[in-house]
Structure 1
């Protein structure tokens, strides 16, 4: 690979050459396809009828899905609440409605999980983390988690570029016959002073164009009781500075064309002010720190289906994220600490898939991302990053066997105004996946995948004043997975369907980025020191029952995981890394009878350690919660109403997900929803 003469020119040149090579191959076929499409007299809208359960069975990588029906039944307010029911997931939750919530899949670290919203990744070059507590379930239709990556070929190059992927799909407007508009108004209220109204308006402009608008307001004082214990006394205290006031509005424009192409345009804005609840140590219970967030993005997507052989997918996005952090307790000559960050991102993607033969498909995806970060910090680096991704993938599919592979090229170039930039990076990472049905009459499938990938150090890792280290290497991961899926349906039986997924996996992370102290304990720096090996087992079981007029769905997830620090010459060699339980799982049980619905859920997280050393002083006790929900729906004068009551943490267990950040005890929530034309 040639060395860049200039990073920006190098990335553009490489992307340009790859684009020309690909289009020179496909343009003749594109023209023929377009001609064929113009000859067609009747063009019908494409409808996807494949069930989600079959997608899970056919996927060569572990796939977990919560769709609209299942999401409604869970006691969940945000996306972070819902993903707790996935296996192999650790959710870092700092407590309360407004606390930071991030996902960690299979113990590889938060930065190794990409989060996509309507097919486009949510980027954060500053710290690499996506706060899932910001994303309400009010406008979410489906949440899906892939360990590894999707098996689809027509997708952006970014979808190939992470160890795991979380996809959030917003609700697309639908209309009944002779209906051109509909409304949905919802109100949630409950413990901690929660007031959460939302409204959705959908309008069909014509038979090929519709618009949707969704707005939500969240206000809560965040005051909840928790238990505080030290060597002197055991008491109950009220949590302070966990309040939040947030506004979210998003709009979408959805269209189809005469040649069955589909497109959409989405605008999104989230604005909040919240307290930053601190760690409860040394008898300190109140904190004055505040944080303001203003997140905006506009994105568009266009997928063109000219014929069965050739497809294109184009994505574009601009995002602006502003964060302000105020700490009145940290005062210097210039006043109280008042840090302000502004992150901007421009993203362009072009993907294409060509159906070469009945069994063979090819695809090429090319992405370009420009990111920059501004801040009011002294001696700030003002970094800019350009990233080029090129993914070439191929897939061979037969009725009972499929194999897929891809190679991803990653080109990264950083520039800074102050200090030294990180060197330009050029990496090549492969992935191989396979799925096999060994018996023709049995819906048992074996699956396996190998994936090598890495994550770039964030701007904070590289350039944060006095802490960043511009000489950091990327964090590399290698994944191996072998598992099976099995499903069976029964006719005229009370048990109508049962499905099982189980996977054994091994992952290794090298050049792990960690913070260590320098000459004093008051100044730290980032270095590549860590190595982690993860060995685990995931199981997911679901059964559906019909007993007269009663429908029952029962699910159970379990994860066994050993995530060990294997850094050479480490004092904690062979010990479990912080906050990773060996055993964890969940159970959900739902019953529907006529207009009534009942749901019970149970979540268990085993013992963990808060620091690297697995010693008694760092021991964190296991925790579990029981949640209940009851729903009732009815119709009056062609207006649909529903009411749901929830009781969370029924037995009022006091626990910490992150040590010294107490979680709420027993709490309640009521949801009222009305839908009308």
Structure 2
């Protein structure tokens, strides 16, 4: 059933357009050989200086705190216990895998949630195909900011350590009316959650795995009556030199170094006003291994990312005003033995003003947003884009608490020209005591990237006359649930018009608005709990059927499956728990992956199933909580590929230890 929703909960449950209440508490890139040991290419502040400054300010805020409290394990609401005040499908990581997920990246966590990612190997590029859409049809929203890169528009999920965020959720389907450019197939939401009630806690985690994969993380949280702060650190080094079949030679040129830091603050000025700040910095050095058919050219890519934001909230009796601003800087250095080094850089400034008004069972949301993006590369030159957006939304909560309705509209001006009007409308309707139906329509868009518009080199040429891609989506859902069982079904259909596709003209490539893509399918999630003597069992099964095909003139009437888009993905997880011990067995299946446009099976990738086993135990060392885990990944040592000629690691192991102080 839809939960009750009181006036007092409305402000605190708002999560950037998605409202959540838990079962227990409302929420409110002239080559000089570079090596991993060389002086890093750095135009941003060094990690050590940033860490020193943040630690100093953090220690000062701790100086008045004399007591140390036992660290409680951070809990994330499980899918079954979350009621979402949105008609969109929202997915969250399983709480049983919390210790493991906190040491992983998005490229490792999302597949465990049943989502297919196109990954080039461990630690390498990993892009999405949410609901059968393209890699450029998803985005990431960080603390309310859309952080899609304006240069290539592709999200690399291996660059998002999950341990740098408190709250992780995936918004499945079209979301441009809420989140803006690129949100056609799905949106990954990363948020910092700060509580004034948790005083002081810290958590230190160490992890060692096969192929010299070592990870360390730390998380600190401090709160007093009017101040709350957190600090999170992440570091990973890996050789990734796993054996490659059939001759079991070691993978070459695959070293990785990945470090990051995030910091957030929340200041309660008085009963009505509150300030917040957010900070994220990453420094990643990745060697790019050759494929099975390539010669090793010692390719390497260095990424540096800086994100910062501030927010002010003013609460009124009948609503809330929010003003926020952010700055994002991304730099990339790429080089190999054959190509001179290529550097690219982007800057994004964004500010928005949002007003929420409450009247009766209604909620009105009005928002204005301004954004300026700049990018500079050798291939595109210096480019910039200015965007102005207006958003209006309405939500209605029925008096009987059996229905919820939402409507959103968004209009943007890009460099003074209007892009297609986007919007979404949906309804949740409780048709029986344990049954809720959902219907939702959305119109989304994706603006051509700077690379699409302005790229110039000897092999490719951009097209400044490209139109934005437009996505139309419809979905219908049914959720059945009781205390120990639930079934969630969703039928969906998405059409992407004016699809941007790079095609070859003579010896040069150029992007064109050539055809349409139609993606349709069914997603089903089933979960049930069972107890037997002292054991507790939790079962969850997720399966996604997606048919994605080209329409229009360029497709010549063909309806083959799009390349690198499997028809079926499935995940089954069983958790067996007794006292402080927990065993988790996972099965992940991916159907045949076609690598050619006309689905030639000779060049396709065989279906594969991967089995992972995790053993977790929680300990008490006096007043110090300790958690340990052992993981056997790809337990059956399956030889498989997700991208043609890009091998994935075989059986590998990992040990993780986490302690609270």
**What is the aligned counterpart of 1:131 among 145, 153, 156?**
156
Task: Specify the SS of the correspondent of 2:158.
Answer: helix
Q: CA deviation at 1:175?
A: 5.9
Q: CA deviation at 1:301?
A: 2.5
**What is the aligned counterpart of 1:455 among 446, 449, 452?**
446
Task: Specify the SS of the correspondent of 1:128.
Answer: coil
Q: Which residue of structure 1 lines up, in the alignment, with residue 45 of structure 2?
A: none
Task: Tell me if 1:485 matches 2:500.
Answer: no
C-alpha distance in structure 1 between counterparts of 2:632 and 2:430, whole Å: 43
Q: Which residue of structure 2 lines up, in the alignment, with residue 606 of structure 1?
A: 591
**What is the aligned counterpart of 2:638 among 640, 653, 657?**
653
C-alpha distance in structure 1 between counterparts of 2:349 and 2:645, whole Å: 38
Q: Which residue of structure 1 lines up, in the alignment, with residue 625 of structure 2?
A: 640
1:368-397 Cα offsets, whole Å, 9 max, x none, are 1110001244xx431101111111111232
- Is contact 1:481–1:506 with CA below 8 Å preserved after alignment? yes
Task: Tell me if 1:213 matches 2:231.
Answer: yes
Q: CA deviation at 1:473?
A: 0.9
**Bigger shift: residues 253-262 or 562-571:** 253-262
Task: Tell me if 1:311 matches 2:320.
Answer: yes
Q: Which residue of structure 2 lines up, in the alignment, with residue 359 of structure 1?
A: 361
Task: Specify the SS of the correspondent of 2:107.
Answer: helix
- Is contact 2:196–2:225 with CA below 8 Å preserved after alignment? no
**What is the aligned counterpart of 1:96 among 122, 130, 136?**
122
Distance 1:224 1:117, change over 3 A: same
Q: Which residue of structure 1 lines up, in the alignment, with residue 267 of structure 2?
A: 255
**Bigger shift: residues 312-321 or 600-609:** 312-321
Q: Which residue of structure 2 lines up, in the alignment, with residue 626 of structure 1?
A: 611
C-alpha distance in structure 1 between counterparts of 2:581 and 2:237, whole Å: 29
1:453-475 Cα offsets, whole Å, 9 max, x none, are 11001111111114211111111
Task: Tell me if 1:79 matches 2:106.
Answer: yes
The aligned runs of 1:418-567 (5 Å cut-off) are 424-439=417-432, 442-465=433-456, 466-489=460-483, 497-520=484-507, 523-567=508-552
Q: CA deviation at 1:480?
A: 0.8
**What is the aligned counterpart of 1:184 among 191, 195, 203?**
203
- Is contact 1:157–1:389 with CA below 8 Å preserved after alignment? no
1:409-453 Cα offsets, whole Å, 9 max, x none, are 011118xxxxxxxxx3432123211111112xx120110111111
C-alpha distance in structure 1 between counterparts of 2:178 and 2:522, whole Å: 30
C-alpha distance in structure 2 between counterparts of 1:500 and 1:174, whole Å: 36
- Is contact 2:148–2:182 with CA below 8 Å preserved after alignment? no
The aligned runs of 1:192-207 (5 Å cut-off) are 192-204=211-223, 206-207=224-225
Task: Specify the SS of the correspondent of 1:470.
Answer: coil
Distance 1:278 1:367, change over 3 A: farther
- Is contact 2:164–2:261 with CA below 8 Å preserved after alignment? no
Distance 1:350 1:96, change over 3 A: same
Task: Tell me if 1:143 matches 2:131.
Answer: no
Question: Which sections of structure 1, spanning at least 5 residues, go unmatched?
Answer: 1-32, 34-45, 229-234, 331-336, 415-423, 490-496
Task: Specify the SS of the correspondent of 1:258.
Answer: coil
**What is the aligned counterpart of 2:258 among 231, 235, 246?**
246
1:87-143 Cα offsets, whole Å, 9 max, x none, are 4x331101012x011222111212222211223222300111221112222233332
Task: Tell me if 1:122 matches 2:147.
Answer: yes
- Is contact 1:149–1:162 with CA below 8 Å preserved after alignment? yes
1:276-328 Cα offsets, whole Å, 9 max, x none, are 123221xx463411111110111123333222x21122221111111000122
Taking structure 1 as the reference length, the TM-score comes to 0.82
- Is contact 1:591–1:599 with CA below 8 Å preserved after alignment? yes
RMSD over equivalenced CA pairs, Å: 2.5
Task: Specify the SS of the correspondent of 2:211.
Answer: helix
Q: CA deviation at 1:157?
A: 5.6
Taking structure 2 as the reference length, the TM-score comes to 0.84
Distance 1:405 1:341, change over 3 A: same
**What is the aligned counterpart of 2:342 among 339, 343, 346?**
339
Distance 1:120 1:666, change over 3 A: same
Q: Which residue of structure 1 lines up, in the alignment, with residue 394 of structure 2?
A: 394
- Is contact 1:58–1:445 with CA below 8 Å preserved after alignment? no
Distance 1:550 1:508, change over 3 A: same
Task: Specify the SS of the correspondent of 1:328.
Answer: coil
- Is contact 2:194–2:265 with CA below 8 Å preserved after alignment? no
Distance 1:312 1:546, change over 3 A: farther
Task: Specify the SS of the correspondent of 1:60.
Answer: coil
C-alpha distance in structure 2 between counterparts of 1:366 and 1:530, whole Å: 33
Q: Which residue of structure 2 lines up, in the alignment, with residue 166 of structure 1?
A: 188
Q: CA deviation at 1:72?
A: 2.8
Distance 1:565 1:138, change over 3 A: same
C-alpha distance in structure 2 between counterparts of 1:405 and 1:161, whole Å: 17
- Is contact 1:75–1:628 with CA below 8 Å preserved after alignment? no
Q: Which residue of structure 2 lines up, in the alignment, with residue 17 of structure 1?
A: none
C-alpha distance in structure 1 between counterparts of 2:146 and 2:384, whole Å: 18
Distance 1:75 1:545, change over 3 A: farther
Distance 1:104 1:82, change over 3 A: same
Q: CA deviation at 1:47?
A: 6.3
Please tell me whether Structure 1 or Structure 2 has the larger radius of gyration of its CA atoms.
1
- Is contact 2:470–2:497 with CA below 8 Å preserved after alignment? yes
